[in-house]
Amino acid sequence: MPAASKIAIGKAATSAVFRRPTIKLEELVQNERLTMLALNNIVDQDYVPLKGAYPILIHDEVIGAVSAAGAITGDNDEIIAQFASKTEFILKIAKMKRIPILLCFSLWITNISGQVFYEKYGNVCVEAENFYSQSSDSIRKWHIIRETSVEIKNNHAGEASGKAYTKILPDERVTHDDPFIPGENFSDNPGEMAVISYKIHFTDTGKYYVWVKAYSSGTEDNGIHVGLDGKWPESGMKMQWCEGKNQWTWDSRQRTNEQHCGVQKLIYLIVETPGKHLISFSMREDGFEFDKWCMSKEYTIPED
């Protein structure tokens, strides 16, 4: 298949014809589970293709092009290759939905080195299973759980966002009567055990509240820590869940000596500079089940 015509790569090639979120990927593909996470924009009908090829965009930046026949070209071979594997299906869906030309995707693939998620308008949300890296995992480790993970007892992927989530395993302290072993099944030291990280690009700086969607079934699987750029501030320690047992529940509370079930508005991170930053979560209790997380300048519970 011939390659599409080369186009100018970068923001200079974009046009002011994008309208902010109008269609979500789930609305296009329904129950299909693709590697793309969400749609950001749709190109307007009056957009003129560049040299017969339609642009591929990630967060409003042109990274390549695709011809009407589905041929792909671009500068980032890794991302283009991932995109190419889904292009035929995407074009088919777009045609069925009568979308005028190629769609613009937040095209970050699960566990691809270099993936970045972008904050927009003071908000960013990420599926927990789409972590960039994992470290300090010799004793406990985050595992991605899917509906097909038959070896997992009490699998909750069916109700999880994206039909997948992460869980710290092995889970050996299930009840309060089980042995309590700091440094093995419990860690009050942020960043010490089972650390997963995400690359986030921030435009707006300042204070961001951190929200996590978790599944807790007891008293010994309901705590984690959150940090920024390898640092673990006090405001990111001891995220705690007491309410909403046995279901996926959003919360943003910090456990304190006075309030073990957590205090609202105490879990937050300060982003001091625009650009790329590393957001990390680490184990406090093994068995923790983690579906999704958000950062927001407003203390408002995220919508699923």
Give the CATH number for residue 250. 2.60.120.260
Q: How far apart are CA 253 and CA 11, in angstroms?
A: 39
**pLDDT digit string (tens) for 11-43?**
333 333 333 233 333 333 332 332 232 233 333
Statement to judge: residues 75 and 195 lie in one domain? no
Statement to judge: residues 122 and 262 lie in one domain? yes
Across 239-252, average pLDDT: 92
Asked if 281 and 273 count as a contact pair (C-beta separation under 8 A), the reply is no
Statement to judge: residues 150 and 199 lie in one domain? yes
Task: Give 245's pLDDT tier (boundaries 50, 70, 90).
Answer: confident
pLDDT score of 145: 93
Of 227, 220, 235, 238, residue with least CA distance to 289: 220
Statement to judge: residues 80 and 141 lie in one domain? no
Cis status, amide bond into 190, omega within 30 of 0: no
Statement to judge: residues 60 and 144 lie in one domain? no
Of 106, 132, 158, which residue constitutes the final position of a domain?
A: 106
85 lies in a domain?
Answer: yes
Cis status, amide bond into 21, omega within 30 of 0: no
Pick 253 or 69 by higher pLDDT: 253
Of 297, 290, 295, 301, residue with least CA distance to 127: 290
In whole numbers, what is the pLDDT of the chain averaged over residues? Answer: 73
**Domain range for 80:** 11-106
Statement to judge: residues 81 and 213 lie in one domain? no
Of 36, 29, 161, residue with least CA distance to 104: 36
193 lies in a domain?
Answer: yes
5 lies in a domain?
Answer: no
Provide the domain count of the chain. Answer: 2
Across 175-193, average pLDDT: 93
Task: Give 150's pLDDT tier (boundaries 50, 70, 90).
Answer: confident
Statement to judge: residues 163 and 36 lie in one domain? no
* H or E element that contains 77: helix 77-96
Q: Tell me the whole-structure pTM to 2 decimals.
A: 0.65
Task: Give 106's pLDDT tier (boundaries 50, 70, 90).
Answer: very low
Statement to judge: residues 153 and 44 lie in one domain? no
* H or E element that contains 81: helix 77-96
Statement to judge: residues 123 and 98 lie in one domain? no
258 lies in a domain?
Answer: yes
